[in-house]
Amino acid sequence: MNADASRIKFDTKTIDFFWLLGFSAWRAIEVYSPALVLATLIGIPLDQALNIDAERGQYEFDYKQRIASAQSLIAAEQTPDVSWPTDVPQPTADRDGLGDNQRKAVFDLVALALAFALLHEFRHVMYCADNSAPSTLPEEEIGCDTWAREFMTSGLAAYAKEHGHDYAEVHQKRAMGIALAAVIIHAMTPTHAHWGNRQYPPIAQRLTAMIGGYNLPPGSSFWPFTACLLIALMRQENRPLDIVAHSNQEMVEALLDRLR
C-alpha cells in the first residue's frame, strides 16, 4: 500500500493481509488475558503471571503459528500461495453471514483498521498535492498516523447521536480498530526498520502515536484488548515483561513505554 499525488495503490492481497492478520491477532485475548487478569489483580510482575498460566504454552504456540502464517502473505505473490487457517473465514463483505458475534466483532475491527490505513495514505496524497509534506519521511509518516487517528476519532458525539449509539462505545470501538491497525502496521514494517531509518520513524513511536493517550474509562474493553496485543508483540520479540501494573490502562501505558 502506497500513495502519490493522485492515487492510493493497493490490491486484493492487501485486503487479505489485513483480514488474516486481524483475525489472527484477535486470538491474543485468549492467549494472554488470563495472565493479564492475574497480574493486575494481585500486583505481580506480568512475566511471573505468564509462567503461572500452565495452559498458555500450547495457546501461545498456536497463536505464533497463526501470526507467522499471516506474515508470510507479505512476501507471497498472491493469497493462494499461503496456507490459510481452516478456522479463519475467507474475506467477505457479508458481515451477517459470518455467523457468530466474535467473527462479526473482528470484521468490524478489521474494517476500521483498514480505514485507518487508507486515511493514512490519503494524508500522503494530500501532502503531495499541496506540496506541504514535512521535511523528512519519518516526520511525514507520524503526521499521517496522527491525522488518520484524529479523523477517525473526531465528531464522534454527532455520529453517535445520529445513529442512536452510545458515545463511549463508539469511541472505544474506533480506538480498538486503530490499535489493531497499529499491530498490522508493525507486521508490515520491515524488521530492519523497527528502530527507524531515513524512511520510517521508530515503530515504537508510531505505535505510541496510534495507541497512546486515549481518554477512555478505566473499565473500557480497549485497555485489555490493547494490552493483549502489545503483550503478543513483546513476546514475539522476546522482550522482558517484568512489569507490575494494577490496571489494564496502566499495563498498556507501561508496555508502550517499554517498547521504546
Kindly report, residue by residue over 194-236, the tens digit of the pLDDT.
Answer: 888 888 899 999 999 999 999 999 999 999 999 999 999 999 9
> What one-letter code names the amino acid at 99?
G
Beta-strand runs (E) in 139-255 = none
- pLDDT at residue 4 is higher than 80: no
For the chain, the distance separating the N- and C-terminal CA atoms, rounded to the nearest angstrom, is 26
The angle that helices 101-130 and 167-188 make with each other, rounded to 10 degrees, is 70
Q: Residue 199's pLDDT is what?
A: 85
pLDDT at 189: 86
**Residue 111 scores a pLDDT above 90:** yes
- Smallest CA-to-CA distance from 26 within 76, 96, 85 is with 85
- Angle (CA) 203 71 36, round 5°: 65
* Complete DSSP assignment for 125-158: HHHHHHT---SSHHHHHHHHHHHHHHHHHSSHHH
71 lies in which domain range? 2-259
* Rounded Cα gap, residues 175 and 212, in angstroms: 10
pTM (two decimals) = 0.94
Per-residue pLDDT at 193 exceeds 90 = no
Distance CA 120, CA 14 (A): 15
Calpha distance 239→226 (Å, rounded): 17
DSSP run (H or E) holding 61: helix 56-75
Average pLDDT of the chain to the nearest whole number: 93
| Tally of structural domains, the chain | 1
Question: For 39-74, how does the pLDDT look when each residue is reduced to its tens digit (9 = 90+)?
Answer: 999 999 999 999 999 999 999 999 999 998 899 998
pLDDT for res 5: 76
> pLDDT tens digit string along 224-234?
999 999 999 99
Residue with cell 486515549: 214
Judged by average pLDDT, the poorest of 49-53, 84-88, 180-184, 189-193 is 189-193
Instruction: Give the span between the Cα atoms of 55 and 257, in whole angstroms.
Output: 28
- The model's confidence at residue 31, banded by pLDDT at 50, 70 and 90, is very high
Q: In which region does residue 155 sit, left (phi positive, over 0), alpha (psi from -120 to 50) or beta (all else)?
A: left
- Tens of pLDDT, residues 143-174: 999 999 999 999 999 999 999 999 999 999 99
| CA-based max dimension of the chain | 56
